[in-house]
């Protein structure tokens, strides 16, 4: 982690202790700013202090923009003193997965090979966050080229899941550093990407809310790509409200990314209605369709969540998913590997380049595809999307676990295991949206459910998630950081 130094903090009267500021959601920090209870500089300093104290072990950040963040915070405070209206995210900090390029800054895309690579453009994501007045705290670690679900990175180091200080457990990938940073209060929210679950999986392992948006909802301009067919940018945060607010800032057409030009307008109210879920039809797949490697705690959290959503007014409908549904995880992997090979072929095949063995092996797996296999895979995907759209038409959402297991120890993890992305890849393949929600704990480790919606139905999954969040309060759970030096 590179930490860029800055000038001492400017004094500003406030009532919240530094450690408390770092534990708040974006919405809670914004409320304090509006009420004059603290300054943007104090919020930024609270997170920077926690980064300096804890990130030596947590290893969430590749680089910390301490000086720049403090300068932007001081500017936000001056703007606020003008009395003119500011946006809801103005003066609030955020962390960025290290595939969101910033012109002139180091962008590794998780690869040691690119440890000194300087970006030549600024990603649309960063542009829109800066336009909203947000303050980047720095870039976070990730799985190399965003191709891995456990969160490993043997050459640059894996972030440490903050829910267990005694045993290093998987952080989830590929947005590993972002999830660890947000869970540990090194940032109030962060940006990840999701090609087969890379927002939802680390959110689930770290007790966060993570939104996988529909492909084409948020521009990928200036983003390090893994799969141009399946990639999406998405927020990881401590509440549904924070994910919604970040979506408002990021969504919209961008002529530099033609996939965004056909999207419908984002229909997202400023506040979600508090009238329950009456009228919502939520499909609940048969338990018999779930894999044999399901942990009993993950299974119990899923079934309890279904009962709770029914109590909140939803119509829970037992269903059988199409027989091919879960096999889509493997098919999605074929598309990802093929496109990753096209993007990274030159350096993947150069054995002198410092690239992790597991990622290199996954990408090289596409080298032996038969002629026409990739095109046929895309043809079948279009047919599956049409067919599933008809099946899904009877429902508003589907409820599934996000993960089959709580976070296992990092040591000895099987890189070829289908476990982490089993429940998440099908949504990317089918062009759906999905929301990972904290769903309780098992022996001190977070559990998670997944609310799956139709294409561009982000409002629906967020409304269901908000009702669930308000009833459970699981998003308010925080890891004990004493073992990391807090």
Catalytic residues: 97, 174, 198
3-state SS class at 317: strand
Q: Which two tokens stand for residue 89?
A: 């995210």
Interhelix angle 240-250/124-131, rounded to 10 degrees, is 110
The span from the CA of 72 to the CA of 91, in Å, is 8
Burial 16-37 (b: 16+ CB within 10 A, else e): bebeebbbbbbbbbbebbeeee
Q: Which of 409, 394, 454 is nearest to 217 (CA)?
A: 454
The span from the CA of 38 to the CA of 397, in Å, is 40
DSSP string, 136-199: EEEEE--SGGG--SS---TTT-PPPPTT-SSS-B---SSSHHHHHHHHTTSSSEEEEE-SSSTT
Name the region of 43 (left: φ>0; alpha: ψ -120 to 50; beta: rest): alpha
Greatest CA span in the chain, whole angstroms?
67
The span from the CA of 292 to the CA of 116, in Å, is 44
Tell me 426's DSSP state. H
Question: Which segments of 270-345 are extended strands (E)?
Answer: 281-285, 315-319
Q: Which of 123, 133, 132 is nearest to 99 (CA)?
A: 123
Q: How far is CA 377 from CA 9, 13, 146, 364, 416, in A?
A: 55, 60, 21, 18, 21
């Amino acid at each position: 982690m590179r930490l860029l130094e800055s000038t001492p903090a400017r004094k500003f009267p406030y009532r919240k202790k530094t450690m408390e500021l770092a534990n708040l959601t974006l919405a809670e920090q914004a409320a304090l700013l509006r009420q004059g209870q603290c300054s943007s500089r104090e919020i930024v300093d609270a997170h920077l202090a926690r980064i300096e104290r804890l990130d030596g072990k947590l290893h969430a950040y590749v680089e910390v923009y301490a000086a720049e963040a403090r300068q932007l915070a001081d500017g936000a405070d001056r703007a606020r003193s003008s009395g003119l209206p500011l946006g809801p995210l103005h003066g609030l900090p955020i962390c960025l997965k290290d595939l969101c390029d910033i012109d002139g800054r180091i962008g590794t895309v998780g690869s040691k090979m690119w440890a000194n690579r300087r970006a030549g453009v600024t990603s649309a994501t960063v542009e829109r966050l800066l336009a909203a007045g947000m303050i980047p705290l720095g870039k976070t670690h990730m799985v190399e080229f965003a191709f891995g679900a456990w969160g490993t990175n043997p050459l640059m180091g894996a972030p440490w899941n903050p829910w267990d200080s005694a045993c290093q457990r998987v952080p989830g990938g590929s947005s590993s550093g972002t999830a660890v940073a947000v869970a540990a209060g090194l940032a109030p929210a962060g940006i990840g990407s999701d090609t087969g679950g890379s927002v939802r999986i680390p959110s689930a392992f770290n007790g966060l809310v993570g939104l996988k948006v529909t492909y084409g909802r948020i521009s990928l301009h200036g983003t390090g790509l893994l799969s141009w067919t399946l990639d999406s940018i998405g927020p990881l945060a401590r509440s549904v409200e924070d994910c919604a607010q970040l979506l408002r800032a990021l969504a919209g057409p961008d002529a530099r990314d033609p996939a965004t030009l056909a999207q419908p307008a984002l229909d997202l109210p400023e506040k979600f209605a508090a009238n329950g879920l009456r009228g919502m039809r939520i499909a609940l797949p048969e338990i018999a369709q779930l894999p044999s490697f399901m942990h009993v705690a993950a299974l119990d959290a899923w079934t309890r969540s279904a009962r709770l959503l029914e109590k909140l007014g939803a119509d829970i409908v037992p269903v059988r998913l199409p027989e091919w549904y879960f096999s889509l995880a493997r098919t999605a992997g074929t598309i990802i590997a093929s496109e990753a090979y096209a993007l990274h072929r030159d350096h993947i095949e150069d054995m002198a380049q410092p690239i992790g063995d597991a990622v290199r092996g996954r990408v090289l797996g596409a080298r032996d595809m038969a002629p026409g296999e990739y095109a046929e895979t895309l043809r079948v995907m279009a047919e599956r999307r049409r067919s599933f759209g008809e099946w899904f038409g009877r429902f508003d959402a589907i409820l599934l676990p996000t993960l089959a297991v709580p976070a296992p120890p990092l040591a000895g993890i099987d890189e070829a295991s289908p476990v982490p992305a089993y429940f998440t890849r099908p949504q990317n393949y089918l062009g759906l949206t999905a929301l990972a929600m904290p769903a309780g704990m098992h022996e001190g480790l977070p559990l998670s459910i997944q609310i799956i919606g139709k294409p561009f139905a982000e409002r629906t999954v967020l409304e269901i998630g908000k009702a669930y969040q308000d009833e459970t309060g699981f998003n308010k759970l925080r890891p004990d950081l004493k073992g990391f030096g807090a």
